[in-house]
Amino acid sequence: MLKRLSLRNLRRIFAVAYLALFTFVFIDFSETFSSGFINGLLYLQFIPSLLKFLKVGGLIATGFIVVLLLTFLFGRAYCSFLCPLGILQDIMARIRAKRPRYKYLKSWNIVRYAILAIVVIITLMGSLFLLYMLDPYSIAGRIFSDFVRPAYYGVNNFFVMILGFFNSYALHHIDFKPIPWQGMAITGALLAVIGFMAWKWGRLYCNTICPVGTFLSLISRYSLFRLKIDENSCISCNRCVRDCKAGCINLKDKSIDFSRCVACYNCMDSCREGSISYQWAFGRKGSDVAEETDPTRRSFVTTFTGMLIGLAALGRADKLFAQRRIRNRGANQGAQVSAAGSKPNRRSAPITPPGSYNHDDYRNTCTACHLCVTACPSHVLQPSFNELGIFSIMQPHMDFRSGFCNYECTRCGEICPTGAIRLLDLETKKRTQIGKVVFHRGNCIVRVDRTECGACSEHCPTKAVQMVPWQGLLIPEVNPEICIGCGACEHACPTEPYKAIYVNGNPVHQVAKMHESIGDRPEESELDDFPF
């Protein structure tokens, strides 16, 4: 019984339970879990917690401190049962005909310390691109949001169709917007690389590329309690080496490189002699723990200085590139299909969600985990490709072709784990101006086709768009000062390929003026594909 309740089995139970909850949070379509539960579940995610602490502060953002304390006490506990990508790698490593057999791997200290240095310095210079592309939490979030969620919804809708033939309505159809193919391609490539590394070498990604794993490895070198091998009882049977997914057990000198140990505890269960156990780190001397001295740790920063300067220059150019791309947006798009909607929309800035305050602040805090993409009830938040700049790929933006921002909704701010989208009270959110409406009369079907419309005015929650008489018809007239940039008008506008009315983003969010007739309004319902 004691064997069954070993550290390895307890770790497995906790890890599977945590991953199951994590997965459901990222595929949930009905707000099953409260925002408080989601925040609690993600409390110990290292990078989001650290960014939120730096951005917002408060007790809710101290999870990374708990992780640091656990690491200082027992080693890389985060990598063991709290990292969703680590747990996912363990599952992928088991997808093979035979049980995986590992061997001792040399440490790639130059590689992992160089990657960590580049990530840290580029982050301090103002770009989160490398950090969120390599952060294990963010990668796992994108995998579940971009791949597992569409598959789950597709299976659900398939059974809805099948049950419909039998007049059973136990399930209901889920309407969702597919992730852009560019985002799926990037996430798919990362999943393929990490999956192959896990299948072939176990936790090699955690010990060579992952910046969180490398940072925690620096602390675990000085953990108070470490796994040690008793040289007197060890019979060199090699079972522990074969089961070590980190490849950190060197049986030649009976040592464990604890900086690379991911605390899976497989070695403890596989050792029939009981020669491996947690011990006080400073109670014995000898070769119990492999402390690999690597002088390159002290000099690698100099080696990569030139590379960092180049990357920093690219990061500085990112904002300029994004602005230039937005100004030219639409110039090279598809053929004009009619007179209405034939003139390109020219945004001077993209649109970020309420609570992000300004574009630079948002891009420097968002890790592109896509939790907000999953949670958004109107699907207006979508992963970007180049809308926010070349170094903001995958960070969500407001895509008004996919949806619009509900007037009564603050869901994204409630669940954002990094503070990139901060929670606004509902009245403040209703006054937050993320962009201003622009009306292009030359695209409007009222003017071009002499056809009655008014969809934009009908769906505007602030009455920033109103219909006024024009040549026997009614045509939109806009008041940008009271517009909040929710995009309901743009989403409802039927003209293609370019809208007659659209939102131009505010690089720094403003406060909209209050229209005299605005009072409490019912919650906006999601629009149909055609707004009439």
Coil, strand or helix: which one is 506? strand
Alpha carbon distance 351, 135 (integer Å)? 25
Supply the pLDDT for residue 4.
57
Alpha carbon distance 197, 343 (integer Å)? 49
Strands (E), 402-492: 432-439, 465-470, 473-478
User: What are the percentages of helix, strand and coil residues in the chain, rounded to 5?
Assistant: 45, 10, 45
CB 217 within 8 A of CB 290: no
Domain boundaries, the chain: 7-280, 309-511
Alpha carbon distance 235, 251 (integer Å)? 10
Q: Which residues contact 244 (CB under 8 A, 6 or more apart)?
A: 102, 104, 202, 264, 266, 267
Supply the pLDDT for residue 323.
46
Alpha carbon distance 491, 489 (integer Å)? 5
Q: What is the DSSP string of 359-391?
A: HHHHHTT-----HHHHH-TT--EEE-SSSS-TT
Residues of the chain with pLDDT under 70: 1-4, 97, 283-342, 515-532
User: Whats the size of the chain, residue-wise?
Assistant: 532
Alpha carbon distance 65, 51 (integer Å)? 12
Residue with tokens 């304390």, as numbered in its chain: 69
Coil, strand or helix: which one is 238? coil
CATH number of 309-511: 3.30.70.20
Supply the pLDDT for residue 524.
46
Supply the pLDDT for residue 35.
93
CB 182 within 8 A of CB 221: no
Identify which of 216, 300, 209, 223 has the alpha carbon closest to the alpha carbon of residue 256.
Answer: 223
For 66-118, write each residue's pLDDT tens digit: 999 999 999 999 999 999 999 999 999 988 767 888 999 988 899 999 999 99
Q: What is the DSSP string of 265-299?
A: -HHHHH-TT--EEEEETTS--SSSB-----GGGGT
Coil, strand or helix: which one is 476? strand
Alpha carbon distance 474, 447 (integer Å)? 9
Q: What pTM was computed for the model? A: 0.85
